[in-house]
Amino acid sequence: MLKQLTLTALAALALTSAQAADDGWVSMFNGKDLSGWKSNEEVPGVFTVENGELKVSGGRAHIFYVGANGDAKFKNFELKLKVKTTPGSNSGVYFHTQYQEKGWPDNGYECQVNSTHTDPKKTGSLYGVMNILALLEGQKEPEGGQHIKVPAAPSTDGEWFDYNIKVEGKRITLAVNGKTTVEFIEPEGWDPIKALKNMAGRKLSEGTFAIQGHDPKSTTYYKDIFVKALP
């Protein structure tokens, strides 16, 4: 009987694994090393793997997803990952971007990660385009983009949150812990130079993903990073 139960359990596990493999989700981070990723090393050592998590700490640098063949590229997709901020941390997830050796990525959109940093644009913002805005006392509203005012960020320092980023055609949807924070439809003829300040590359095209290291005092964690290509 025990042998029969064991075989049944193994069969169920195999079926579950097959279903997981067929649902379209692809793991981007193995929890062991940075395989499939390329850091620009603007500040060396910002990206490390600790306890199965991607630790981002120590200064400005960006790590780009290149995939197994070094040429990862996405147009329509859904990305899901878990993120944990710490007090004063600032980070972000870029999409439709490409590798560059230094500076803030010129191409693509940034999905903000920020619970308590002094930047008023908080987690769930499509940075500079549609901002989830929590102003500190005395702060003025930033220029450019649309603003959705909230009393506090939808993420909490020290707690893992689910971040979902989806692009279908001209529609960009961001969600934090299952709740939509931004739904932005890029207008026809969108000209970010006219619509935004100093963000000429904020437009849909195709490209890869990047994770941001922001400043020396910032530490952020990532894990369970998965992507699904959409038609």
pLDDT over 60 (residue 19): no
Kindly state the greatest CA–CA separation across the chain: 72
User: Which domains are seen in the chain, by residue range?
Assistant: 26-229 (2.60.120.560)
- Percent over 70 (pLDDT), the chain: 90
Comparing CA positions, the residue from 114, 81, 115, 85 lying closest to residue 95 is 81
Return the pLDDT at 198: 83
Average pLDDT, the chain: 92
Using CA atoms, how far apart are residues 35 and 161, in angstroms rounded to an integer?
24
pLDDT tens track for 128-160: 999 999 999 889 998 889 999 999 999 999 999
Band of residue 22 on the pLDDT scale cut at 50, 70, 90? low
